Amino acid sequence: MSPPAATFQELGSVTAALPMKATGGDNGTIKANGVDKTIAEMEGNWDDFKFQPIRESQVSRAMTRRYFQDLDTYAESDIVIVGAGSCGLSAAYMLGKTRPDLKIALIESGVAPGGGAWLGGQLFSAMVMRKPADAFLRELSVPYEDEGTHVVVKHAALFTSTLLSKVLSFPNIKLFNATAVEDLITRPLPSSPTSNNNPPTSLRIAGVVTNWTLVTRHHDDQSCMDPNTINAPLTISTTGHDGPSGAFSVNRLVGMQVLDRLKGMQGLDMNSAEDAIVRGTREVVPGLIVGGMELSEVDGANRMGPTFGAMVLSGVRAAEVAVGIWEG
């Protein structure tokens, strides 16, 4: 049964809803075939319990065959999302749901996706979202307590694990976690003057350069650990504002002299921060959409602290911008 349809309109977007193409279906659906044991049949009968026999190489091949097939399949992706925090996961969810025809590669440097959304503020459990972001919680069927202008999810991990499980259920999305984007693939724009000693300063982003995160962190002590690549006409970067490689893509744009400088995230002001992030989510340079807290570093937006509505709706907006460009 496909999940309930949602439209960008319901999720507080500013443009008309896109025709919904529900996904789901029998990709990896778990089916009891009438022969498989049930848990109930096992309970109380552990003395002669026995697993089915296996050879270790079967396990190895089950993993490696799929992983390397995925690397091959997603070497050419339609959209790459860098960073699987609350913003990146929300963008992935919307793209998985509205554009099941697009191949989406979700690159997350941590072993555990989710970014800063596993806890509320100061390691507290509850997660606050200001209305109208509660629309996204209803879309995911995440229960919350309504406190008037905002809602509270009893544990941030309930939101993040629910969102993550739904993203991973889409057949057109592949999560490469423990994998870092360590550079951007670029192409000079036709208008950009290029000469040997002047790198093109107006360019478009045409994909990402990746390496396993543990490799990325050891370039200083191991030489020649060259990266892998994913070509894609569109990249959504949501790498956050802090952490070992926060605001990765926009810092790289400054390093390539494509952006003069980052205005830098400003002090905490919830009321201005969240509106600015959702309204400002956009294609910063051709081929690169920036959302979530990474955007605050570009625009000099305030930080909002322990409230996550802007993250999810920035993700909704980033997906909408990507689809708009794709269909443009």
| Footprint of ligand 48N (CB under 6 A) | 82-88, 107-110, 115-117, 180-181, 238-241, 243, 245, 248, 268, 292-294, 303-305, 308, 311
User: Between residues 100 and 234, which has the closer beta carbon with respect to ligand 48N?
Assistant: 234
| SS3 assignment, position 210 | strand
User: Between residues 100 and 136, which has the closer beta carbon with respect to ligand 48N?
Assistant: 136
Please state, in angstroms and rounded to a whole number, the distance separating the CA atoms of residues 74 and 176: 10
In whole angstroms, how close is the CB of 96 to ligand 48N at the nearest point?
17
In whole angstroms, how close is the CB of 43 to ligand 48N at the nearest point?
39
Instruction: Report the DSSP beta bridge partners of residue 225.
Output: none
Please state, in angstroms and rounded to a whole number, the distance separating the CA atoms of residues 237 and 287: 10
User: Between residues 172 and 245, which has the closer beta carbon with respect to ligand 48N?
Assistant: 245
User: Between residues 150 and 303, which has the closer beta carbon with respect to ligand 48N?
Assistant: 303
User: Between residues 100 and 313, which has the closer beta carbon with respect to ligand 48N?
Assistant: 313
Q: CB within 8 A of 219, min separation 6: which ones?
A: 225
In whole angstroms, how close is the CB of 161 to ligand 48N at the nearest point?
14
- Do strands 79-82 and 150-153 pair parallel, antiparallel, or not at all (unpaired)? unpaired
In whole angstroms, how close is the CB of 107 to ligand 48N at the nearest point?
5
In whole angstroms, how close is the CB of 195 to ligand 48N at the nearest point?
30
Please state, in angstroms and rounded to a whole number, the distance separating the CA atoms of residues 157 and 142: 11
Please state, in angstroms and rounded to a whole number, the distance separating the CA atoms of residues 50 and 185: 51
In whole angstroms, how close is the CB of 308 to ligand 48N at the nearest point?
5
In whole angstroms, how close is the CB of 283 to ligand 48N at the nearest point?
17
Would you give the DSSP letter of residue 236?
E
User: Between residues 124 and 194, which has the closer beta carbon with respect to ligand 48N?
Assistant: 124
From the list 175, 149, 156, 152, the residue with the least C-alpha distance to 96 is 175
For residues 194 and 177, is the Cβ–Cβ distance under 8 A? no
Would you state the structure tokens that stand for residue 57, as one six-digit string? 């190489």
User: Between residues 85 and 233, which has the closer beta carbon with respect to ligand 48N?
Assistant: 85
CB-neighbour burial class of residue 165 (10 A; exposed 0-12, middle 13-18, buried 19+): exposed
Please state, in angstroms and rounded to a whole number, the distance separating the CA atoms of residues 14 and 17: 9
